[in-house]
Structure 1
Amino acid sequence: MLKFLILLSAVACALGGTIPEGLLPQLDGRIVGGSATTISSFPWQISLQRSGSHSCGGSIYSSKVIVTAAHCLQSVSASSLKIRAGSSYWSSGGVSVSVASFKNHEGYNANTMVNDIAVIHLSSALSFSSTIKAISLASSNPANGAAASVSGWGTETSGSSSIPSQLRYVNVNIVSQSNCASSTYGYGSQIRSGMICAAASGKDSCQGDSGGPLVSGGVLVGVVSWGYGCAASNYPGVYADVAALRSWVINNS
């Protein structure tokens, strides 16, 4: 988890001070090589916030349930969390809703990053509109090389000390679990069952994007989880595999 180690100080600075351990992003926080966009293009995207600061991303699964990464919710209480939905800007607009409770996957392992998925239960239901919509969970993985996109308010360069105010996205390509674990890339056996990867030259998710959506074919296929650096050669972004973890999300929603 070299990315995690390198980016801790940058993320703390970006969010205005020391970040609680459970909210330190691994591959989350920045979209590298991407473009500004509006929430109407990614209406399932939310900003997960602690004490008014953006900490992670997430995806709307239903009017009262958000899917995010388990590593975003370590050592934190529900009462300190809110989400903002329906806005292109993490700090204003749309609606802000308190978190009633959350549940991390019981098999989440902070050392291996397996099962890096969680569900958040909101205190009140979201009203769906052109800027607030649920996204379906993938029931099978897209083909290796399939087009995908990842969005978030993460930093735009590795080690950056600031996050953008407006939502950004980047287009990437799916790298299957078997390919990501092969000698083509540098991770080897660190890529486990329940993970999926995505990459494109000079493009990636980064700190602050953690927990956010990897979308392909109009469905949620991954949750931003971890990686070495951001857009580093031979090291694709690594995501929790939604198709593999789909039943857990449904059973805990």
Structure 2
Amino acid sequence: MAERSSIFDMIGPVMIGPSSSHTAGVVRIARTAIRVLGEKPVKAEITFYNSFARTYEGHGSDRAVIAGLLDFHTDDKRIKNAMDYAEERGLEYSFRSIGSAAVYHPNTVKLRLTGESSRTMDVIGESLGGGVINIREVDGFSSGFSASLHTMIIMAKDVKGSIAFIANILSNDDCNIATMTVSRKGKNDLACLVLEMDSGVREITLQYLEQLKWVKHVRYIPNIDQ
């Protein structure tokens, strides 16, 4: 199915920088990634692919990704000096570029993040234009979410009936599921469930899901622009 865009996507977001795809989109990918990590990042290994790899310095994608890792919004004037703020906050980072990777979207960036607790997480994001993004992978699992809706990511064991169980729990919160992506390493192995919802989830519901024996962890992203 072809991707659909609205007139607002074509206009683009309120932003700092020369390009909605190379700056605003990159900020949003990085802001989403730190929420997937679930804690403040202290180290980031950043790989730009294809078009990003050839233009990331000239279009400010390097500053944009660091700004996003510092949780700056797309219209934050500090984006231009993001490297200076990263140094002040003790964020270590490195850049790598791969100019030809046919398996990836032209505007793709991979973030390998290490948090304060030494937890690591890989996130691959695509900037689709107009500030719109797609989070393609989370720790090697297909994810495919935009972070523009209320999003929940559940890493859990591949337990029979688990998807129906979680859907029932969310129905009690009056949540309508817009999209669902399920990826697993293998039968009865670790699985990743990504749910995009039209409305939010109560904190008590997140806590309940987190304490289930077969759930490894839960990440909740209300809306990346909030």
TM-score normalised to structure 2 length: 0.35
- Work out which of the two has the higher radius of gyration on C-alpha atoms and give 1 or 2: 2
Identify which of structures 1 and 2 has the higher relative contact order when contacts are C-alpha pairs closer than 8 Å and 6+ apart: 1
